[in-house]
Amino acid sequence: MAAQRIYIVFLTISLVCPFIDMQAQDDASIKAAKATAAGAGLKQYAKFSSDEKHPWVHGGDVSLSFTSTSLTNWSGGGEDQIGIAPSANLYANYKKGKRTFENYGIFSYSLLKNGDRKAVKNNDNLSLISKIGHQLSPKWYYTASLLARTQFSPGYKYTGTDTIRISDFLAPISLFLSIGMDYRPNNTISTVFSPVMGKATFARSDDQQVLSNAGLMKKEQDENGADIMVPHKSRYEFGGGIVVNVKGNALKNKISYNSQLELFSNYVQQPENIDVTFWATMKFLIYKNISADLRFDLIYDDDKKTTDDDGTARGAKLQLKNYFGASLFYQF
């Protein structure tokens, strides 16, 4: 219940922030993108260049968060802990005439080590986004986009003394190819309406736990007509969806925010079961290149069934994750 309240508060903030400095963003976004972090706080991501001779705008930020706890003869109990979390957000955008080409890379990873136990990861994200657009009017674009989402390293589920691998390097990997219209009322908000969207999920692993976690176990019938779950290494879906992205700065560049809501409906199979992915980040400038960072993730995918520790199959569940930390960062 507490986690749900946090999500509601954070979602409210992410929706309200774009309207705080809306009036000044058109010109300020390009200026802030070229400013240093020390001189202008947290910079606004520039959407596009306004210079026809130099149509490319590129940059981003990299950060490193870490935690450390050391105990010696501590009567209250506990154990030593070390955590490290690197991340990077990169972009390269092009605009010339009515043509646009956007590219974004979002990378994050974190490791946590408690006592003498082996270090484990608690965050792993590799997302690449490319979007081609053609301007129809000042606020509308024809658009085609490709999104790839996966992870860097194997992931495990820990149940008592058992360690179960549920993901691997690039397994699973999800690809979204969409065609539609992009509505951009300003430099902060982008809403893509995609009546035509293809979704593909791949897993190169033979591990049934990995395939099950990726939603690649399909119900089929054996020679006796009994239902059985059969592993597959790929799944293809055809449908439509909406992607809403909100990003910008507030409070004189002391806060930067970026959030995205993705909705997908499979036209062929149970279109009423909407896949939902929502993530949001906020960075609070503390001093020059030191920031406090918040990140929230929410996922609901009806194809990703869950299992209890004893192997009992369950239905899909809402997945929630949140992160808070202090970081050293560099913007360019």
The residue ranges of every structural domain in the chain are 2-331
DSSP state for residue 323 in the 8-state scheme: E
Residue 305 has pLDDT above 70, yes or no: no
Residue 34 has pLDDT above 80, yes or no: no
Q: How many residues are present in the chain?
A: 332
How far is it, in rounded angstroms, from Cα 52 to Cα 236?
40
pLDDT in tens, 238-290: 999 999 999 988 888 899 999 999 999 999 988 998 999 999 999 999 988 99
Of residues 210 and 328, more confidence is placed in 328
Distance of CA 232 to the CA centre of its chain: 25
Pairing of strands 56-69, 319-331: antiparallel
**Measured CA distances, 253 to 20, 28, 36, 59, 106 (Å):** 11, 10, 12, 17, 21
| pLDDT (0 to 100) of residue 36 | 35
Residues in Cβ contact with 291 at an 8 Å cutoff, skipping those fewer than 6 apart = 42, 63, 283, 284, 285, 326, 327, 329
Residue 32 has pLDDT above 50, yes or no: no
How far is it, in rounded angstroms, from Cα 43 to Cα 81?
33
Residue 291: in which H helix or E strand, if any?
strand 290-300
Strand partners, 37: none
Amino acid, single-letter form, for residue 151: Q
Q: By CB neighbour count within 10 A (0-12 exposed, 13-18 middle, 19+ buried), where does 295 fall?
A: buried
How far is it, in rounded angstroms, from Cα 284 to Cα 294?
8
How far is it, in rounded angstroms, from Cα 143 to Cα 179?
6
Highest mean pLDDT among 1-10, 130-139, 297-306: 130-139
For the whole prediction, is pTM greater than 0.85? no
Residue 37 has pLDDT above 60, yes or no: no
pLDDT in tens, 194-226: 999 999 988 877 766 776 666 666 767 667 777
CA dihedral 103, 104, 105, 108 (to 10 degrees): 180
Q: Which two tokens stand for residue 215?
A: 């939603």
| pLDDT (0 to 100) of residue 119 | 84
Question: Backbone phi, then psi, for 4, in 5-degree steps?
Answer: -65, -40
Of residues 147 and 317, more confidence is placed in 147
| pLDDT (0 to 100) of residue 69 | 82
CA dihedral 150, 211, 217, 301 (to 10 degrees): -30
Of residues 161 and 51, more confidence is placed in 51
Residues in Cβ contact with 224 at an 8 Å cutoff, skipping those fewer than 6 apart = none
pLDDT in tens, 97-119: 999 999 999 999 999 888 888 88
